[in-house]
Amino acid sequence: MKFFVDTADVAEIRSLVETGFIDGVTTNPSLIAQSGRRIEEAIAEICSLVSGPVSAEVTATDLNGMLKEGRYLAKIASNVVVKVPLTPEGLKACRALTQEGTLVNVTLCFSAAQAILAAKAGASFISPFIGRLDDVGETGMDLIHQIIQIYSNYPDFHTQVLAASIRSPLHVIEAARMGADVATIPPKILHQLYKHPLTDKGLLDFLDDWQKTGQQIIAI
């Protein structure tokens, strides 16, 4: 499973890249707004830090506007993935940009039917929003399972399932168990993946016992 970090905070991305766990980055208009930077500047810097895919989202809602913005974003760096919404116009833009050789991430997916359309439009990634489905009383992970099952039936579908709107480490674990290609994870949740109380307790016990020996592995 690939890990993308879901943020436009360049300092956070730089720190996480050092772990070696980060395979790409996803952004959206809200995250760019939080960064306080111009989108082209933020995306260019992120692309210089990460060799993998970096999603940059269009804000136009009409086909011509999406194509114009998508082509502009794609020119920022070779690893930019243009992100479009799962609307009729967005899927038309996906097909056109894909045919031009641009990678496309179709976002705001909330049903398996939508995911089928995205695959037929040639999407590189489909982004089902797990957490937002949970918020309205549905089970987001069921959608991940459905999409993976459907895509596996059709060798001509090359769209990667990118689990999005992740709210907890459990979402990451379940997406991995189901075989999602990618999880795009907020920095807070990425840091939580390290944590377990028994790890902390075990380390304290080991260090306490070691201190009692009076030894040093290497003299300071």
pLDDT digits (tens, 9 = 90+) for 56-76: 999 999 999 999 999 999 999
Task: Give the model's confidence band at 158: pLDDT under 50 very low, under 70 low, under 90 confident, else very high.
Answer: very high
| 22: helix, strand or coil | coil
Q: Does domain 2-195 have CATH number 3.20.20.70?
A: yes
Whether 28 contacts 58, CB under 8 Å: no
Q: Does the annotation mark 68 as catalytic?
A: no
> For position 54, what pLDDT does the model report?
98
Closest CA to 120 of 81, 69, 86: 86
Instruction: Locate 187 and state its tokens.
Output: 């920095």
DSSP string, 134-200: HHTTS-HHHHHHHHHHHHHT-TT--PEEEEBS--SHHHHHHHHHHT-SEEEE-HHHHHHTT--HHHH
Cα separation, 107 vs 84, in Å, equals 6
Percent of the chain with pLDDT over 90: 99
List of residues 6+ apart from 26 with CB closer than 8 A: 4, 5, 6, 54, 55, 83, 105, 127, 162, 164, 184
Cα separation, 130 vs 39, in Å, equals 26
Q: How many CA atoms lie within 13 A of 218 on its CB side?
A: 1
The Cβ of residue 153 has, within 10 Å, a number of other Cβ atoms equal to 7
Percent of the chain with pLDDT over 70: 100
Residue 55 has pLDDT above 90, yes or no: yes
Residue 171 has pLDDT above 80, yes or no: yes
Residue 22 has pLDDT above 90, yes or no: yes
> For position 219, what pLDDT does the model report?
78
Query: To which residue do tokens 């937002």 refer?
Result: 132
| 104: helix, strand or coil | strand
Q: What is the mean pLDDT of residues 99-128?
A: 98
Q: What is the mean pLDDT of residues 187-209?
A: 96
The Cβ of residue 167 has, within 10 Å, a number of other Cβ atoms equal to 17
Task: Give the model's confidence band at 123: pLDDT under 50 very low, under 70 low, under 90 confident, else very high.
Answer: very high
Residue 145 has pLDDT above 90, yes or no: yes
Q: What is the mean pLDDT of residues 98-108?
A: 98
Cα separation, 110 vs 157, in Å, equals 19
pTM to 2 decimal places: 0.94
Which entry of 2, 75, 83, 212 is annotated as an active-site residue?
A: 83
What average pLDDT is seen over the chain? 97
Closest CA to 19 of 212, 185, 213: 185
